[in-house]
Structure 1
Amino acid sequence: MIPRATYRLQFTPTFGFDDAAALAPYLAKLGVSHLYASPYLKARPGSTHGYDIVDHNALNEELGGADAFARMNAALKANGLGQILDFVPNHMGVGGADNPIWLDVLEWGQDSVHSGWFDIDWNPDRPDLKEAVLIPFLGEQYGAELEAGKLQLKYDAEAGSFAVWAYDAHKLPVSPLHYATILGAGSRRLERLGDEFSTLPNWRPGEHARAEELKRDLADETRRDPAFAKAIEAAVARFNGQAGDAASWSRLDALIRLQHWRPAHFRVAADDINYRRFFNIAELAGLRMEVPRVFDDSHRLVFSLLADGTIDGLRIDHIDGLLDPKGYLERLRARAPATPDNQPFYLVIEKILAEHEKLRTEWPVQGTTGYEVTNLLLGVMIDARNETAFSRIYANFSGETKGFNRILRECKKRIMDTEMAGELNGLARDIVRIAMQKPATADFTRNLLRRAIREIVANFPVYRTYLDFEGEPTWFDRFTVDQAITQARKSEGTIDPSVYEFLRAVLTGDLVAEPRSGYSRSAALRSAMKLQQYSGPVMAKGLEDTAFYRYNRFIALNEVGGHPQHFELPLDTFHKANAERAKLWPNSMLGTSTHDTKRGEDARARLAALSEIPDEWAVQLAAWGKLLQLEEQQGDPEAAPDRNDIYAILQTLVGTWPPELLDAPAAGSEAMKTYAERVKGAITKAMREAKVHSSWSAPNADYEEKTLSFIDNALTGALATDFLPAFLPFARRVAELGVQNSLVQTVLKLTLPGVPDIYQGTELWDLSMVDPDNRRPVDFSQRETMLGELAATDGNTMSSLLSDWRDGRIKLAVLVRLLKLRRDFAELFGGGEYIPVQIEGGKEAILGYRRRHGSTDILVAVARFPARRAANPLDIDCRIALPETKGGTWTDVLTGRTWDGRDISSADAFRHLPVAVLVRAE
């Protein structure tokens, strides 16, 4: 079943299946067709997001378990709602003691039946990691933590097993082959059992089963005989030394060196990690979904949910993380069971499309999760005429003059040099082995190839290309590789051109395109695919998690899938993108807020209004600067916070200031303190992500403390008395303009081709900041009450709701009416045409289009640029052309007003609201 509209819910230990069940009647009344659920398979204990899955075939008990899950599903069905699940195939949560598959790999190494599940390099350069996995979970260096007693050998009496525990949190299983080392010869029974464990290789291929038998024997003996239990306790004690006495831990150190894992300080991961991670997160280990058994085992539960109709579709998380995205999607379609209605299940992917990149039409999906639409809607609200003014204001205030593309390249290189250097080293090692297979390339050294790969990835214009095992690149992949290499040769011309040409051949598959190339075809293609798999996270970390926090010219543009270097989005581009979606991806998801967006949809809409008034913004900055005593920092490179960070802070305040605090709030009020804490949380993350003055791996406490004190002083402290009265009038003005943009954004999302998604709580104003702020608990009781009160609104009521905009009911009212419209005209919105509408006079301020299916016709018109229109109201000659018909009346579904004729005056159409959605009745 294709969704009509979805509602995203974030499941957490404090919001589980029963909570979602209780919301089912509300969601049905709101008008969506599907609950869009965050991951709810078994995750690490306490997970607040669900993406750290430890078992793909079990539900998360912390959300209520199977019984609560059944109650939720029953409530959804009873209210006519379907369900879409956010599924995570790329990685699993590791560390802790909760992932049995990972623990089995640590226990048995390459001999584990699960060793092929994870993308582990069992033969890296570091000698002590051959046939072992680096475990970079220590807070200090290994030797220091060992001496401090933070690593302890422990015996599990119930399981009859031994493990080293780090901080009593991370379980590192001891290989059964080394149990004899622990048990020793303290008694005949210990010696006998130890001998049995040491002879496990004789039981191959059944050594794992034999080990489990011996563990059970060990557990049984422990339960039966207290003396035996004491003997094991004493054996374990010999390995655990005294804190502060390094020599006393030598026995445990020797045991650890025998294992299939190596504990290390977390910073070691950057250079020596030998398993693929989700980005640079060591606690999320990459899965090899290209392996059939891994795929089959990971999809058993989700396939059963599709088969019995519990879920109607999937959102695939982080598709670019997979080695072969297209192959995965094709396998997903081919192996998924028949659904109850025998229709293909709904399938969308989380895919960030770079500028000028298109979703692959050969991929068997309905579309993406909508980041491109997020930025498309923002783009038509931003006044491109003022880009130069904002560039000048930013440079004058902050002193920053670097262009965004230069910053992005620098950030990507920093990521490759620090957080993801280990992966780069591995790629260079694998590709130099290929180069050595023929004399023509045998002299390409590893260091030379590493430098060239680094430069190419730094200049990659998209997240990744998609060469697969067939070895046939698309024209766009070939164009992308050529573009990256051309730029790399310009930025790093000291590398011999033949090295770049060799890498071009690797990345396009040309190296092995012909028989008898002299190179290993499988090795060359796999290396190219691994390089593609690497370029994606480098882009994500360099762009979204670094450059977006350094380049603060206009932070609304610093959004996932966004392009901060460009203000302009021509209306022709907007219309073309929507017409293309209507033709190719009519059921793609339309999103404006997600758990990953950098700021809430209404915060972006408010900042879009700011783009119209650069002169006022510049005046305010100068005034606020004096009140905040910024002149004292002028020219001081050591000042904290620096002026670039202050510029981001001030934009954040304008964009996210709560409506209830717009009227002279007391600086010391609880509401102000709560808001200040939220801002400080977001700015702390921004400082660490920017990696200029601080970072996650090495927080700069002094800089951070001074920056957070600056925020406190401005909002609740010594400077608030002067700053707030000066700030609030401007904040109110921008907020009121932003409301009009928010309504425009809402109407566009609900009427464009695609499936609109409402992120939890955003049916009212969404002025959230970056996560975890955007995952705060939602007051659903407030929303249910408001929905009940809006049951009988009319046009005049809509006007009054707009006047009293601060409570958000105007947004809810528009949303509800348009969701009902989508239900009433499901065929039109599911597959209708998209046709731009002609605007006569003043067309730049008005955007219009039609949705048509058969004889059904809907016309949508919205008024852009509220500040410009306030200064120069729409002229009566600015008219919206109605399509030529045999007659009939056009009715605005939002206000109930009606029109006849061939066109409508824009001033009349937008008399009550800056939006109009007209339906023609014969």
Structure 2
Amino acid sequence: MRTPASTYRLQIRPSFTLHDAAALTGYLRDLGADWVYLSPILTAEEGSDHGYDVTDPSSVDASRGGAEGFAALSKAAREAGLGVLVDIVPNHMGVASPPQNAWWWSLLKDGRSSRYAEAFDVDWDFGGGKLRLPVLGSDDDLDKLEVVDGELRYFDHRFPLAEGSYVAGDNARDVHARQHYELVDWRRADSELNYRRFFAVNTLAGIRVEIPWVFEEDHAEVVRWFREGLADGLRIDHPDGLADPSGYLARLKETTGGSYVLVEKILEPGEELPENFDCEGTTGYDALTDVDRLFVDPDAEVQLDALDAKLRGAETPADYQAMIHGTKRRITDGILHSEILRLARLVPESPELPRQEVADALAETIASFPVYRSYLPYGKDVVVESVERAAQTRPELKQVLEALLPLLLDAGSELGRRFQQTSGMVMAKGVEDTAFFRYTRLGTLTEVGADPTEFALLPDGFHERMVHRQARLPLSMTTLTTHDTKRSEDTRARISVISEAVPEWEAFVDRMQELAPIPDGPLAALVWQGIAGAWPASRERLQGYVLKAAREAGNSTSWTDPNEGFETKLASAVDAAFDLPEVTSALEGFVALLDPYGASNSLSAKIVQLTMPGVPDVYQGTEFWDRSLTDPDNRRPVDFERRRAALAALDAGAQTEARDESAKLLLTSRALRLRRDRPELFNGYSPVHAEGPAAEHLLGFDRGALGMGSGAMTLATRLPRKLERNGGWQGTFIRLESAVRDELTGNSYPAGEVQLARLLLRYPVALLVPMT
């Protein structure tokens, strides 16, 4: 199996095709990347900018360069010495436009008799033999249907007609009644839908890759890539949605010749990847969480809790566990209620198991889950503990819960399987997409895959986790920014400085609430952290971000029931950052306070991520400062020519300072090149400890297999503002067992005691290698 030393993620889309990626391979080689890592490239919904809504798994998307473009990219990658990793989407297909998806079109046209009826996950009996499609503005809109060119039309929506279901002159509403599908009010999706989706996205329909022929047809093109040597590895999107993740991974390994495979799996604190997962690891959210918390001051927790309580108008800060229980129940009783009801229908109804109480008990159990899903029988304890927790919360459901437990533990039953597929949906929508926009004491903590109740991580705790990572998952990905992160790495690095400047942060928020009030205190904290983290940013970017954040939080407005008055006030607050001099001045003053320490955090986090155990990924463009917010803001175009020119200048001897954007490029390129060209320096892990009054401000480790001094040594600065206010390094030093050279500055240091003030004079980080 070929494995990467590192990867570089590119977002392939109509505006940046596979041909464009092919032209970039020389730059990626020069940067030091080992593999190019592509977003989904199979044919997707026309106009899709992300590619996760695949409509035709048998072809590479023509708008993204097609098969020719992929061949060109692969050829260019090989010539540059790069491997190729591709993101694929086995859980669902895009069905927003039925004519674009032959599988879905066949299902709608022929219903249960369609060849693809088995491929999609439909509860036909619940729909009275029909597939319910929530596309109408209201049920009265059935009168707006038309039959045009042998199709049923609803404005721009097109649907097929069953054989013999239309005769010229028939009323369109009557024709609709003869179809294998039923068009319904979109609001009915919450409780009456009868097909499995990706989360609550009606236009992404789940498919059943556990069925052999579905797997084969869905993966035929992917398998071709490996048969013809076009790809080397795969990233698997949302494996938690699959009926049998471990079985899927085993079959994928077999059909791709044992290729390198990563899964987009979120591991909660203390959770391990199931041992029967035949893959090399995760896509790195767990690593991101560990790195971020190194740069949060643990002493700030009490202060930020007090400010959170103040902004909420409460005596105590938000109770996160109570909050996520509530947000998960909001999801089970709202946008994913259809999924809960489908589970309930699988439980034989009896006096001991009445349907309504069963649905309530299932929802309560899922709301009590501490992780995304169980993997029976591997996750049996999770189910048992969640049922027990649900019974404690809702004692009136105890008997129903006890009766349900053995049914939920039956991995071979449809209920047991579907329950596992559903819990992750609820966690994602209730926690990531709701609670993370409500729990706002420090934005760094609410990143995908994180538990924000873990406030900070001290170096000793980090070292313990890295020793474990090196032993357990040395080929798992590490990352700081992805297409899914809610804030990019540099935005979070700046926000983390707030933990070292709580009084200034509180004064700034108070001032903003006077000058540009947002009538939702917790949201105001999130908004001004985001704006300060991303500043300078365009008005359009910030308006898009705050509106999405407010609707996701769902406290003062929502996607389905927008509060126009609140949203107007929210927009006015953002406008004030540009239009009111007092607000602009206060914002820029606060950003100026954070920025130098944010830059230090950025470089420190990056050097740690690039050199820690695992396979580091660089998300497109983040070799320069990148202060993005949540998608689609993090998919903006990247100016690669500027980066290419800056890298050439650095290689020609150009100098850079710690706050220059080229400093991050220097660090990224030197770390990536070292990992690619000197792999023997990255075979182990041991902590490097400083001695002296500022020792707590150093995070250091040696990656040599033989211990201290035998491999690449990383040094990074923690809590830089506190370090400066306490007088700097003040004689703090490390002991070197042999002479070393810093890959970033070119400076050499002899064995023995070396002052950190000397080592970290130009940059807050160092990358030391043994001198031969």
2:356 maps to which of 424, 447, 450: 447
Matches for 1:612-691 after TM superposition, within 5 Å:
612-628=500-516, 630=517, 641-658=519-536, 675-691=538-554
**1:761 matches 2:759:** no
What's the counterpart of residue 269 of structure 2? 355
What's the counterpart of residue 726 of structure 1? 586
How far residue 68 of structure 1 moved from its aligned partner, in angstroms, is: 2.8
How large is the RMSD of aligned CA atoms in angstroms? 1.7
Which AA in structure 1 matches 2:492?
A: R
**1:172 matches 2:159:** yes
In 1: Cα distance, 2:638 partner to 2:519 partner: 32
What's the counterpart of residue 912 of structure 1? 762
Q: For 1:328-368, what per-residue CA distance to the aligned partner results, in whole angstroms no more than 9, with x for missing partners? A: 111111233x4xxxxx3110000011122111233111100
Q: For 1:667-705, what per-residue CA distance to the aligned partner results, in whole angstroms no more than 9, with x for missing partners? A: xxxxxxx61211110111111111222222222223212
**1:504 matches 2:405:** yes
Which AA in structure 1 matches 2:151?
A: A
Which AA in structure 1 matches 2:48?
A: S
Q: 2:732, 2:755 within 8 Å by CA — same for their partners in 1?
A: yes
How far residue 58 of structure 1 moved from its aligned partner, in angstroms, is: 0.5
Which AA in structure 1 matches 2:392?
A: K
What's the counterpart of residue 569 of structure 2? 706
1:857 maps to which of 681, 686, 711: 711
From the superposition, tell whether residues 690 and 625 of structure 1 become closer, same or farther in structure 2 (CA, over 3 Å).
closer
Q: For 1:375-421, what per-residue CA distance to the aligned partner results, in whole angstroms no more than 9, with x for missing partners? A: 11101110011101001112213425431111111111011111011
Q: SS at the partner of 2:456?
A: coil
How far residue 654 of structure 1 moved from its aligned partner, in angstroms, is: 1.5
Q: 1:399, 1:644 within 8 Å by CA — same for their partners in 2?
A: no
1:599 maps to which of 487, 492, 497: 487
How far residue 371 of structure 1 moved from its aligned partner, in angstroms, is: 0.3
Matches for 1:248-647 after TM superposition, within 5 Å:
251-336=171-256, 338=257, 344-399=258-313, 401-432=317-348, 443-467=352-376, 473-474=377-378, 477-495=379-397, 497-509=398-410, 522=412, 525-628=413-516, 630=517, 641-647=519-525
2:691 maps to which of 840, 849, 852: 840
Q: 2:307, 2:506 within 8 Å by CA — same for their partners in 1?
A: yes
2:147 maps to which of 150, 153, 156: 153
In 1: Cα distance, 2:279 partner to 2:471 partner: 14
Q: SS at the partner of 2:176?
A: helix
Q: 2:494, 2:601 within 8 Å by CA — same for their partners in 1?
A: yes
How far residue 72 of structure 1 moved from its aligned partner, in angstroms, is: 2.3
Q: 2:714, 2:766 within 8 Å by CA — same for their partners in 1?
A: yes
How far residue 856 of structure 1 moved from its aligned partner, in angstroms, is: 4.3
What's the counterpart of residue 213 of structure 1? none
Matches for 1:80-159 after TM superposition, within 5 Å:
80-96=81-97, 97-124=99-126, 129-138=127-136, 140-143=137-140, 145-147=141-143, 149=144, 151-155=145-149
In 2: Cα distance, 1:19 partner to 1:816 partner: 21
Q: For 1:736-776, what per-residue CA distance to the aligned partner results, in whole angstroms no more than 9, with x for missing partners? A: 11000001011001111111111111110110000000001
How far residue 913 of structure 1 moved from its aligned partner, in angstroms, is: 1.4
Q: 2:446, 2:452 within 8 Å by CA — same for their partners in 1?
A: yes
2:607 maps to which of 731, 734, 747: 747
Q: SS at the partner of 2:116?
A: coil
Q: 2:308, 2:318 within 8 Å by CA — same for their partners in 1?
A: no
What's the counterpart of residue 214 of structure 1? none
Which AA in structure 2 matches 1:708?
A: A
Q: Which runs of 5+ in 2 are unaligned?
A: none
What's the counterpart of residue 647 of structure 2? 787
Which AA in structure 2 matches 1:48?
A: D
Q: For 1:73-93, what per-residue CA distance to the aligned partner results, in whole angstroms no more than 9, with x for missing partners? A: 222222222210001000000
Which AA in structure 2 matches 1:146?
A: L
What's the counterpart of residue 209 of structure 1? none
Which AA in structure 2 matches 1:833?
A: G
Q: SS at the partner of 2:205?
A: strand
In 2: Cα distance, 1:622 partner to 1:450 partner: 44
In 2: Cα distance, 1:875 partner to 1:423 partner: 57
In 2: Cα distance, 1:921 partner to 1:790 partner: 22
Structure with the greater alpha carbon radius of gyration: 1
Q: 1:546, 1:691 within 8 Å by CA — same for their partners in 2?
A: yes
How far residue 809 of structure 1 moved from its aligned partner, in angstroms, is: 0.6
What's the counterpart of residue 671 of structure 2? 818
How far residue 625 of structure 1 moved from its aligned partner, in angstroms, is: 3.5
In 1: Cα distance, 2:519 partner to 2:228 partner: 56
Q: For 1:131-176, what per-residue CA distance to the aligned partner results, in whole angstroms no more than 9, with x for missing partners? A: 11001122x1132x233x3x21122xxxxxx2212223x3221111
Which AA in structure 1 matches 2:139?
A: Y
In 2: Cα distance, 1:643 partner to 1:683 partner: 14
Which AA in structure 2 matches 1:715?
A: A
Which AA in structure 2 matches 1:279?
A: F
In 2: Cα distance, 1:752 partner to 1:11 partner: 28
From the superposition, tell whether residues 738 and 302 of structure 1 become closer, same or farther in structure 2 (CA, over 3 Å).
same
In 1: Cα distance, 2:380 partner to 2:275 partner: 17
Q: For 1:60-107, what per-residue CA distance to the aligned partner results, in whole angstroms no more than 9, with x for missing partners? A: 011122333332222222222221000100000013120001110111
Which AA in structure 1 matches 2:767?
A: V
2:151 maps to which of 142, 153, 163: 163
What's the counterpart of residue 29 of structure 1? 30
Q: 1:432, 1:449 within 8 Å by CA — same for their partners in 2?
A: no
In 2: Cα distance, 1:270 partner to 1:120 partner: 15
Q: TM-score, normalised by structure 1?
A: 0.81
Q: 2:93, 2:206 within 8 Å by CA — same for their partners in 1?
A: yes
In 1: Cα distance, 2:470 partner to 2:462 partner: 13
In 1: Cα distance, 2:756 partner to 2:405 partner: 54
Q: SS at the partner of 1:840?
A: coil
What's the counterpart of residue 577 of structure 2? 715
In 2: Cα distance, 1:59 partner to 1:781 partner: 27
How far residue 601 of structure 1 moved from its aligned partner, in angstroms, is: 0.4
1:894 maps to which of 744, 748, 751: 744
Which AA in structure 2 matches 1:165?
A: R
Q: More displaced, 27-36 or 313-322?
A: 27-36
Q: Which runs of 5+ in 1 are unaligned?
A: 156-161, 184-234, 240-250, 339-343, 437-441, 468-472, 510-520, 631-639, 659-673
How far residue 893 of structure 1 moved from its aligned partner, in angstroms, is: 1.2
What's the counterpart of residue 515 of structure 1? none
Q: SS at the partner of 2:500?
A: coil
Q: TM-score, normalised by structure 2?
A: 0.96
Q: 1:95, 1:171 within 8 Å by CA — same for their partners in 2?
A: no
Q: For 1:217-267, what per-residue CA distance to the aligned partner results, in whole angstroms no more than 9, with x for missing partners? A: xxxxxxxxxxxxxxxxxx2xx24xxxxxxxxxxx22222112110001211
Q: SS at the partner of 2:644?
A: helix
Number of residues of Structure 1 aligned to a counterpart in Structure 2? 765
Which AA in structure 2 matches 1:783?
A: R
How far residue 876 of structure 1 moved from its aligned partner, in angstroms, is: 4.3
Q: 1:349, 1:365 within 8 Å by CA — same for their partners in 2?
A: yes
From the superposition, tell whether residues 66 and 478 of structure 1 become closer, same or farther in structure 2 (CA, over 3 Å).
closer
In 2: Cα distance, 1:793 partner to 1:876 partner: 31
